[in-house]
């Protein structure tokens, strides 16, 4: 068993096929297939099954994938520790991002500062829904991920705080209101954002006894804004997830705060901060400083 075989196994699982893994690695498909067959032969179990050109993991393959991620994560951390001891900054840090709050507001400043301090460390960004980022953390697919706080499943590092805002069409009956309550949206066709606030919205409305009549679920903010502006439903989004030029770019969408305000906290989640790789701990440190700087500029 080699680390190369394990890396190929992870890539085949993540990309769903031998061809895609081969293209990513810049090697032949037969080389990928050989690596998987050799790993299966050594372990004495079938890890993958071909399904009409794609690949699915067997039950034991799913269990082995979790173990493989643990092994490769530990080896990455060992290499980074050794590199740090030699006075070198190298390695890879994998980050899960759940939407525009992270990808548009926080990540650019964090990545700029991180690259300036650690130019030799590669940052891989995987973007997905709230649930996907949490699952990636559990599977060790990412070293750290942006999540809504609090979250007791992970070690967490708070970064930013904002509030949830209601989004309604300009022609809506509530459009002239200065503030609203969750009960005001009872019975409305709802467009649920799957990236950046899902874990907060549904429990909050349930707490007020308001059932959500969800018409659509999606993760693209611009699509949500387009549907709201067209009168196809209402939504709730975090302040930091909205475009800064919203009034100009989407004049048919009206934003209304809740009273009392529904606050949201965003941070980084890690399975174990103390045992994280040097690159992951460095990313967390830079993220703290970058987020603090953004807050200071916002308050100025």
pLDDT in tens, the chain (300 residues): 888 888 888 888 888 888 888 888 888 888 888 888 888 888 899 998 887 767 889 999 888 888 888 888 777 777 767 766 665 567 789 999 987 767 778 888 899 999 998 888 889 999 888 888 998 998 888 999 999 898 999 999 999 999 999 999 999 999 999 999 999 999 999 999 987 777 789 899 999 999 999 999 988 889 999 999 999 999 999 998 898 899 999 999 999 999 999 999 999 999 989 888 888 999 999 999 999 888 877 766
Residue 69: the pLDDT is: 86
CATH topology of domain 160-264: D-Maltodextrin-Binding Protein; domain 2 (3.40.190)
Label residue 53 exposed, middle or buried (CB < 10 Å: 0-12, 13-18, 19+).
Answer: exposed
Return the residue matching tokens 């993991």: 57
**Rounded distance between C-alpha atoms, residue 278 and residue 79, angstroms:** 10
CATH number of this structure's domain 1-88:
1.10.10.10
Answering whether pTM is above 0.75, one says: no
Pseudo-torsion of CA 245, 250, 252, 255, nearest 10°? -50
Tokens found for residue 167: 């989004």
3-state secondary structure of 205: helix
Return the residue matching tokens 């994280």: 276
**Rounded distance between C-alpha atoms, residue 287 and residue 300, angstroms:** 20
Q: Where in the chain is the domain with CATH 3.40.190.10?
A: 160-264
Phi-psi region of 193 (alpha: psi -120 to 50; beta: other; left: phi over 0): beta
Query: Phi and psi at residue 243, in whole multiples of 5°?
Result: -60, 140
CA 200 to chain centre: 15
DSSP string covering 88-129, please? ---EEEEEEE-SHIIIIIIHHHHHHHHHHH-TTEEEEEEE--
Q: Where in the chain is the domain with CATH 1.10.10.10?
A: 1-88
């Amino acid at each position: 068993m080699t680390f190369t075989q394990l890396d190929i196994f992870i890539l085949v699982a993540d990309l769903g096929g031998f061809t895609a893994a081969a293209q990513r690695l810049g090697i032949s498909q037969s080389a990928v297939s050989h690596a998987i067959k050799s790993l299966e032969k050594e372990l004495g179990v079938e890890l993958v099954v071909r399904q009409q050109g794609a690949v699915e993991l067997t039950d034991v393959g799913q269990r082995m994938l979790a173990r493989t991620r643990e092994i490769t994560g530990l080896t990455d951390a060992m290499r980074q520790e050794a590199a740090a001891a030699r006075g070198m900054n190298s390695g890879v840090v994998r980050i899960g991002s759940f939407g525009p709050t992270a990808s548009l507001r926080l990540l650019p400043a964090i990545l700029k500062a991180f690259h300036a301090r650690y130019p030799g460390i590669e940052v891989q960004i995987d973007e997905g829904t709230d649930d996907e980022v949490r699952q990636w953390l559990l599977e060790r697919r990412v070293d750290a991920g942006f999540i809504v706080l609090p979250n007791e499943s992970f070690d967490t590092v708070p970064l930013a705080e904002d509030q949830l805002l209601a989004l309604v069409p300009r022609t809506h009956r509530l459009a002239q209101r200065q503030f609203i309550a969750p009960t005001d949206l009872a019975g409305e066709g709802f467009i649920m954002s799957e990236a950046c606030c899902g874990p907060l919205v549904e429990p909050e409305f349930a707490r007020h006894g308001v059932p959500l009549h969800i018409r659509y679920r999606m993760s693209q903010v611009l699509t949500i804004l387009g549907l709201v502006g067209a009168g196809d439903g209402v939504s709730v989004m975090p302040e930091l997830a909205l475009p800064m030029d919203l009034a100009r770019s989407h004049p048919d969408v009206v934003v209304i705060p809740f009273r009392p305000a529904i606050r949201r906290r965003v941070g980084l989640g890690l399975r174990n901060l103390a045992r994280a790789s040097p690159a992951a701990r460095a990313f967390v440190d830079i993220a703290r400083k970058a987020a603090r700087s953004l807050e200071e500029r916002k308050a100025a």
